[in-house]
Amino acid sequence: MQPPAELVHWMFATGFLLLGLCLLAQALVGEDVWRQRPWRAYVWPGLAFLMGVLMWPVMVFYTNSTIHMVAHGSWAQVMMLAGGAELGLVRGKLKNSYWRLTMPLAFLVSGTALLIHEQNGWLFARAAFLHHLIGWLMITGAIFPLVSVFRPRSAVWRSGFALTFVVLGVLLYCDRDVAPVFGHLSSQAGTPHR
Amino acid sequence: MSIQELVSEHAAVRRRSSRAWTIAALGPTTMLGGVAWAFLQPYRITVLHPRGQGFWWLVIEPPLLAVLAGVVFALLIAPGVLEDLEAHEDGR
């Protein structure tokens, strides 16, 4: 009764899309307006933390090699760390704003894990292409949360941070189990699905 | 009130309005993206051809998930943000 792996990617894509929309709204209206309703301040950090928690069952049930397990485990940890740190800051349990550095750390760790655990070349299949693309997206996109730590009121950097999640969601929606990319599909990849 | 003050106030009102407009448009734009995707790749909407599909393939359909994200944002997040933004802009 387990959903196929590509469907799990699409479920996470929906979570990242929603996360991106919330962050974009926050960037547009500013911190003061966003926090006028206390519950709203917890929405995106809570969502990030929840997705980190949900990454654990993905690690347990969907990984078929050590390197895949380590990659998924590292995503779970850094998502929980970044979401948890933001929750702590919102709640007031954490005082130092440098805890926000956990987010660029999460981006860097996630991107690196994506690139390291993808053993095939860019055009092996669509999944391989997307792993490379998402890996580099996360590594280069880390600049947005990093600068936002030092310029927290900059709408430009915060919007870039939000849009990185939106693009991540779109790329995850593109993922298929076995499918060609730009007409390329390695004969070793298997039979393409629909 | 001088013309310069009027112009700057008008520009401020326009800036505020565009911010509110953007927030209000985020949800519908996401929904529209999902609908456009469904038209471009109708084979990804498995309920249109349900024969032989399993439970998960009928429940998890990417274009519909994108629409769902837009609906959730438009109904649960955006109205309160807009209300608070307008109150903030009015100085309440």
pLDDT of residue B1: 57
Q: Tell me, what amino acid is at A137?
A: L
pLDDT digits (tens, 9 = 90+) for B55-66: 898 989 999 999
- What is the token pair recorded at A153? 């009121």
What is the pLDDT at residue B10?
57
Work out the angle at residue A119's Cα, subtended by the Cα atoms of residues A61 and A160, and round it to the nearest 5 degrees: 80
Q: What is the pLDDT of residue A83?
A: 97
pLDDT at A176: 79
pLDDT at residue A139 tops 90 = yes
The pLDDT value recorded for residue B5 is 66
Token readout for A5 is 């792996």
Distance CA B11, CA A81 (A): 42
How many angstroms separate the CA atoms of B71 and B26, rounded? 10
SS3 at position B45: coil
Distance CA A27, CA A60 (A): 35
Task: Return the closest-CA partner of residue A34 out of A16, A47, A22, A49.
Answer: A22
CA distance B5 to A40: 35
- Partners of A184 in beta bridges: A181
- For residue A82, the model assigns a pLDDT of 97
pLDDT band at B2 (very low <50, low <70, confident <90, very high): low
Residue A124's closest CA among A60, A185, A64, A57? A185
> ipTM surpassing 0.95, yes or no?
no
**What is the average pLDDT across A158-182?**
90
Task: Enter the tokens of residue B91.
Answer: 């100085």
Q: What is the pLDDT of residues B71-84, one digit of tens each?
A: 999 999 999 999 99
In B, what residues contact A, Cβ < 8 A?
A: 19, 22-23, 26-27, 30, 43, 55-57, 60, 62, 65-66, 68-70, 72-73, 77-78, 80-81, 84-85, 87-88
Q: Report the pLDDT value the prediction gives residue B13, as an integer from 0 to 100.
A: 54
Between B6 and B47, residue with greater pLDDT: B47
- Cβ pair B81:A34 closer than 8 A: yes
- A40 to chain B, any CB pair closer than 8 A? The answer is yes
Ramachandran region, residue A37 (left: φ > 0; alpha: ψ -120 to 50; beta: rest): beta
Q: Which residue has the higher pLDDT, B79 or B2?
A: B79
Q: What is the pLDDT averaged over residues A34-47? A: 95
- B81 neighbourhood in chain A, CB within 8 Å: 25, 29, 33-34, 40
Tell me which residue in B26, B57, B60 faces A11 most closely, judged by beta carbons: B60
Phi, psi of A184 (to 5 degrees): -100, 135
Please state, in angstroms and rounded to a whole number, the distance separating the CA atoms of residues A173 and A135.
15
Mean pLDDT for all residues in chain A: 92
Residue bearing the bigger pLDDT, B40 or B4: B40
Task: Provide the angle, in degrees to the nearest 10, between the axes of the packed helices A143-150 and A102-117.
Answer: 170
Question: Given A1, A10, A18, which is nearest B62 (Cβ)?
Answer: A10
Asked if residue B11 has pLDDT above 80, the reply is: no
Query: Directed axis angle between helix B3-40 and helix B62-72, to 10°?
Result: 150
Q: Which residues on A lie below 8 Å from B55 (Cβ)?
A: 1
